Amino acid sequence: MNYLDALNKRYSVKKFDPKKAVSSDALYHILEAARLSASSLGLQPYRLIIVQSPEMKEKLIPAFYNPSQISTCSHLIVIVSKNNIGNEYIGNYFSHISETREVPLESLNPFRDSISKHIQHLDPKEVMIWADKQSYIVLGNLMFAAALENVDTCPMEGFKQDLIEEILGLNPEKEKVSVTLALGFRAEDDAFQTMKKVRKPDDKLFKFL
Ligand SMILES: Cc1cc2nc3c(=O)[nH]c(=O)nc-3n(C[C@H](O)[C@H](O)[C@H](O)COP(=O)(O)O)c2cc1C
């Protein structure tokens, strides 16, 4: 599908068809778009939890302010971002670069030192905001990839963060829920699918200099 057609067809689904499941092939392709996402300094300060079991989805329903998507979706992706980036995490990242690109670890020292310095200068709140921003790049790519795979989505940040973290057994000192994405197929009677898109006109959105 042409990508603009896919973006026009995409909308934030309020009600999915609970009888339709996303195939594992489509899911894999969509997740690959997340894996290939760009991130600041390449640090990927996040991970994705893919909720597919009906029992776990059921448990998560009370954590959302719009529960209709959670009770009807095929999969729910929870993007979890890191609360802090320590030297160990940075060290592992550089070992990974060294192995993947087959370059000596020492040759990466200048880059590693500059990253460590940069991260150390951020206070914990800034690290959380920075990591959160990276999660939203993943979110955008997931939504775009899903649209191209003809899979419908609804991005959701209307949730009780503490409750999701408790249900998923996350350690709030280490990571937090950034944003979530419900996946599935639009229900025939979801009224939102026929509504026109409300978007700023070009002259309010773009400035050419
Ligand atoms: C980061 C983010 C969080 C959102 N959270 C919710 C949400 O919690 N519940 C919901 O029904 N829609 C949510 N939306 C959907 C927006 O309301 C929707 O994208 C916007 O109104 C534009 O409509 P469209 O996506 O249907 O084109 C969210 C969208 C984004 C990008």
| Domain coordinates in residue numbering, the chain | 3-85+123-205
Q: What is the mean pLDDT of the chain?
A: 97
**Domain 3-85+123-205 adopts which CATH fold?**
NADH Oxidase (3.40.109)
Q: Find the 203 Cα to ligand 1 centroid distance in Å.
A: 23
Task: Note whether 43 and 85 are within 8 A (CB).
Answer: yes
66 CB within 6 A, ligand 1: yes
Burial (0-12, 13-18, 19+ Cβ within 10 Å), 124: exposed
Q: Is the pTM of this model over 0.75?
A: yes
Q: What is the pLDDT of residues 92-144, one digit of tens each?
A: 999 999 999 999 999 999 999 999 999 989 999 999 999 999 999 999 999 99
Residue 201 has pLDDT above 90, yes or no: yes
| Amino acid type, 104 | P
Q: Give me the half-sphere count of Cα atoms (radius 13 Å) on the Cβ side of residue 50.
A: 13
Pick the atom of ligand 1 nearest to 69's CA: 11
Ligand 1 pocket mutation pick from 142, 154, 181, 186 by most atoms within 8 angstroms of CB: 154
C-beta of residue 83 within 8 angstroms of C-beta of residue 175: yes
For 12-27, what is each residue's pLDDT tens digit? 999 999 999 999 999 9
Share of the chain above pLDDT 70, in %: 100
Ligand 1 centroid–CA 12 distance in Å is 6
Say yes or no to pLDDT of 1 above 90.
no
